[in-house]
Amino acid sequence: MEIFKQIAPLKAFINAQKQRGQSIGLVPTMGALHAGHLSLIEASKRQNSITVCSIFVNPTQFNNPADLLKYPRTFDKDTLLLEKVECDAVFYPDSSEMYPETSLIKFDFSHLDKVMEGKFRPGHFSGVALVVSKLFNIVEPDHAYFGQKDWQQFTVIRQLVEELKFNLTLHSQPTSREADGLAMSSRNLRLNEDQRKNATVFYQALLAAKNALHAGKSITEARVLVKEIVEQKTEIKLEYFEVAESKNLNLLENVKDSDQPIMCIAGFVGEIRLIDNMFLN
Ligand code: AMP
């Protein structure tokens, strides 16, 4: 497996592969890799001759400096995992390589970045769009892979790709979960034993809300139920529970108004912020 810290040699590698007619799959990550990330690598390997995984904790998408500082970094372990699944190349740049100068560009995705994550993490999706645009321009992949776990991120990136005409196909992969249902996340590494046990309530609350909505309860009633379930655990605080039209993230008042509703949840376990989601149908 090739490891690149600089853009120029990575581009030379990619160009050589393309000249040989190889297709390129890209999996952008922030590292601290888990089975969810590896499922994206595996999806890419099934569809491409060469898979590139990027590992970059992107400062411009963090609206909370403490979160950026404490974000887990486990590069040595990550490379072992990537070797095991036979990833072809890793792009592991420093901030100075990705941002040689302070960036002036800001993205505004209108409604898409004003709700849910966008409402509680102002500027987050601008930073995501910036780094993903850079990665798309550097790697020029044929296919790029993202997780359903970050559904709003996927929706924003889809808009980016459509509007800016990036010449690639996007893929969203299902959320990988721990045995108790907790969505895998790099941030789970920061949970202590009790917090880890309790963190499964986000998944349980989504299941309960799904049942309640299928049984004809309103979204407002489902939100009350979710808050009750989540906050019965110590140290857990609900930030939001929303049901949205999955295509355009319009928030719903009534699930009957939607073709394909998705339930999205975010909350804190102590000071660690976790998100999850589930399609209703
Ligand atoms: P991150 O390293 O958290 O920025 O995530 C990198 C990519 O992995 C993103 O496209 C995420 O949506 C995806 N991802 C994160 N967690 C999971 C998971 N549990 N299952 C599937 N994909 C995931």
| Residue 157 and residue 219 in one domain | no
Q: Is 173 in the pocket of ligand 1 (CB under 6 A)?
A: yes
| Residue 142 and residue 255 in one domain | no
Active site residue 143: no
Please, how many CA atoms are within 13 Å of residue 189, restricted to the half-sphere of its CB? 12
Q: The domain spanning residue 232 has which CATH number? A: 3.30.1300.10
| Residue 212 and residue 146 in one domain | no
Residue 59 lies in a domain: yes
What pLDDT does 237 receive?
A: 98
| Residue 124 and residue 234 in one domain | no
| Residue 149 and residue 208 in one domain | no
Residues 6 or more apart whose Cβ sits within 8 Å of residue 13: 2, 4, 89
Q: Which of 124, 139, 173 is the last residue of a domain?
A: 173
How many Å apart are CA 237 and CA 272, to the nearest integer?
Answer: 10
- Pair 255, 240: CB distance under 8 Å: no
Q: Is 58 in the pocket of ligand 1 (CB under 6 A)?
A: no
CA of 152 to the centre of ligand 1 (A): 12
Residue 138 tokens read as 């550097």
Tokens 């099934």 identify what position? 46
Residues 6 or more apart whose Cβ sits within 8 Å of residue 246: 151, 155, 258, 260, 261, 262, 279
Q: The domain spanning residue 89 has which CATH number? A: 3.40.50.620
Q: Which of 120, 150, 173 is the last residue of a domain?
A: 173
Instruction: Note down the domain range covering 273.
Output: 186-279
- Pair 48, 23: CB distance under 8 Å: yes
| Residue 197 and residue 150 in one domain | no
Tokens 């108004």 identify what position? 257
DSSP sequence for 69-123: HHS---HHHHHHHHHHTT--EEE---HHHH-SS--------GGGGTSTHHHHSTT
Q: Ligand 1: which atom is nearest the Cα of residue 39?
A: 21
Amino acid (one-letter) located at 81 = L
Query: pTM of this prediction?
Result: 0.98
Pick from 61, 253, 262: nearest CA to 172: 262
| Residue 146 and residue 214 in one domain | no
Q: Is 39 in the pocket of ligand 1 (CB under 6 A)?
A: yes
What pLDDT does 12 receive?
A: 98
Residue 93 lies in a domain: yes
Pick from 137, 138, 155: nearest CA to 146: 155
CA of 132 to the centre of ligand 1 (A): 14
| Residue 9 and residue 84 in one domain | yes
Q: Is 37 in the pocket of ligand 1 (CB under 6 A)?
A: yes
If one residue of 34, 40, 73 were mutated to test the ligand 1 pocket, choosing by the most ligand atoms within 8 A of its CB, it would be 40
What pLDDT does 156 receive?
A: 98
Sheet holding 261-269, edge to edge: 236-245, 261-269, 272-279
| Residue 138 and residue 191 in one domain | no
Q: Is 150 in the pocket of ligand 1 (CB under 6 A)?
A: yes
User: Among the options 37, 111, 143, 171, which is catalytic?
Assistant: 37
Tokens 């898979």 identify what position? 51
If one residue of 39, 143, 150 were mutated to test the ligand 1 pocket, choosing by the most ligand atoms within 8 A of its CB, it would be 150
Q: Which of 120, 151, 173 is the last residue of a domain?
A: 173
Q: Ligand 1: which atom is nearest the Cα of residue 185?
A: 16
Residue 228 lies in a domain: yes
Instruction: Provide the domain count of the chain.
Output: 2
| Residue 68 and residue 135 in one domain | yes
Cβ atoms within 10 Å, residue 144: 24
How many Å apart are CA 262 and CA 65, to the nearest integer?
Answer: 30
> Is the alpha carbon torsion for 252, 254, 256, 260 positive or negative?
positive
CA of 215 to the centre of ligand 1 (A): 31
What pLDDT does 223 receive?
A: 98
Q: Ligand 1: which atom is nearest the Cα of residue 150?
A: 12
| Residue 140 and residue 6 in one domain | yes
| Residue 69 and residue 162 in one domain | yes
**Mean pLDDT per segment of 10 residues, for the chain of length 281 residues?**
98 98 98 98 98 98 95 97 98 98 97 98 98 98 98 98 98 98 97 98 98 98 98 96 98 94 98 98 93
Q: Is 149 in the pocket of ligand 1 (CB under 6 A)?
A: yes
Identify the residue whose C-alpha is closest to ligand 1 atom 12.
Answer: 147
What pLDDT does 25 receive?
A: 99
